[in-house]
Amino acid sequence: MENIRVRFAPSPTGYLHVGGLRTALYNYLFAKRNNGKFILRIEDTDQSRYVEGAVENLINALKWSGLEFDEGPDKDGGFGPYFQSQRLDIYNKYAAELVEKKNAYYCFCTPERLTSLRDEQKNQNLQAKYDKHCLSLSEAQIKENLNAGIPYVIRLNVPIGEKVVFNDIIRNRVEFVTATIDDQVLIKSDGFPTYHLANVIDDHLMEISHVIRGEEWLSSTPKHVLLYNFFGWEIPQFAHLPLLLNPDKTKLSKRQGDVAVEDYRAKGYSPEALVNFVALLGWNAGDDKEFYYMDELIEKFSLDRVNNSGAVFDIQKLNWLNTEHFRKLPKDALLNHLKSDIANSEFNEKKYSDEYLLLVIDSMIERVTSTKEILEKSPYFFTEPISYEEESKTKNWKPETPELMSELAKRFSLLGEIKDKHDFEQPLKELAAEKEIGAGKLIHPLRLSVSGMSTGPGVYDILYIIGKEKTISRIEKAVKAI
């Protein structure tokens, strides 16, 4: 295949949307599959929408997801700068060239005139588009207006009565009549380019071979094709990805759930699971396989297997994949994830040995879908309980319980070195036999004493992990507190 260069070109307007992650991922997989380059370009020409820190967040989210760009901010591959706001002279030079060739023109219309025009078209049920009013201005009028400092924009001069045809890898032949294409603003009154001009110029100068982007840009593509033709440049190959949909088939939006990569990261989803899930939103390898690691996705990915119909974002499937990936993670990876979660938690002031944390992981692995959930579901491994579950107190803490728990603590104190969890089992069984009660009469209040909860791993596992001293002190505390 030719020299493959693809780009992900987000606007720094906040967080990385999962739709943006999918666009970035498909570009990344396509580049890696074909020994190409994956470029990150920041489209920050709309200064009104710029959010402080958004670029750093974006890069962090991409790196967390395993998508390392080959060129981009702080990684110059000879095609920079990679921020559009640093390329204004380039855009103005090419805009002037279009004006000179009559492929674009100055427009001095006031906002009031444009609003009035739109209202009139709306009342007549016509498509809202510019009426080429300023195209008829003479050179003298244009010069006079420019000298007088009248605000202006530069518009694309869309030819009348023609067709714009291009091929899309996902949608095949796409055709637009120019009557439906607006004379798009190319340079705004603040001197900044619009997306349409900047993106075409940058894709050409950065030698982008394939433009892989969301379906929402399909209707803008004829404007881009016209620009390529006006400049006499080779047109890249286009691939417009299907929309992401809510389960009710509406466009995926924050109203129906989380849409930011950062949200899923904060909830403890693994990058491997999220990437696996997002890859399957509109693409399949032609088989029934659903579990993938990144290297397998790279090996299997091709644009001709991307669907052209919307892909439903099914949170249950993401949860299932997250569990599958979590359970298959090697121990050292789980350990690193848990350490990172602890560092970002209320338990970050204490130090835990790797041996201790691995015991915690082993006891909880079948009960959670992320290491973050270990902290949420079993905080008693990291701090002693400060409260006790009401339902369990009512059910399991009887008038005779304090005496039984105190006796059990006494017997635990007589134990020598604890070699395994069963060392705790013998004294409990002996006490139950002596008192002629079921072991449950001791096990349930014991669990409540050491964990504050009624659920979790086996009670002997908890005792073994926290150790004899903590077990005894927690029992004594519970006897006084409950």
For residue 52, give the 3-state DSSP assignment.
coil
Q: How far is CA 231 from CA 32, 38, 201, 388, in A?
A: 30, 25, 9, 73
* Separation between Cα atoms, residue 231 and residue 202, nearest integer Å: 13
Query: Is residue 154 within 8 Å of 95, Cβ to Cβ?
Result: yes
* DSSP assignment of 339-402: HHHHHTSTTTTS---HHHHHHHHHHHTTT-SSHHHHHHH-GGGTS--SS--HHHHHHH--TTHH
CA dist 329 and 181 (Å) reads 51
What angle, rounded to 10 degrees, do the helices at 440-451 and 468-481 form? 90
- In the three-class reduction of DSSP (H, G, I as helix; E, B as strand; rest coil), residue 165 is classed as strand
- 377-402 burial by CB neighbour count: b if 16+ within 10 A, else e? bbbbbbeebeebbeebbeebbeeebb
Q: Which of 150, 159, 113 is nearest to 133 (CA)?
A: 113
> Which residues, listed in sequence order, are joined to residue 238 by a DSSP beta bridge?
168, 211
CA 456 to chain centre: 31
The answer to whether 240 touches 221, Cβ cutoff 8 Å, is yes
d(CA 31, CA 298): 9
Grouping H, G, I as helix, E, B as strand and the rest as coil, residue 60 is helix
Contact 197, 223 (CB under 8 A): no
Q: Spot the catalytic one: 254, 289, 395, 410.
A: 254
Q: Nearest 5°: CA angle at 20, between 14 and 22? A: 150
Catalytic residue check, 254: yes
Instruction: Write out the H or E segment, with its range, that includes residue 187.
Output: strand 185-187
Query: 338 near 371, Cβ under 8 Å?
Result: yes
- Would you please indicate which residues are annotated as catalytic (active-site) residues? 254
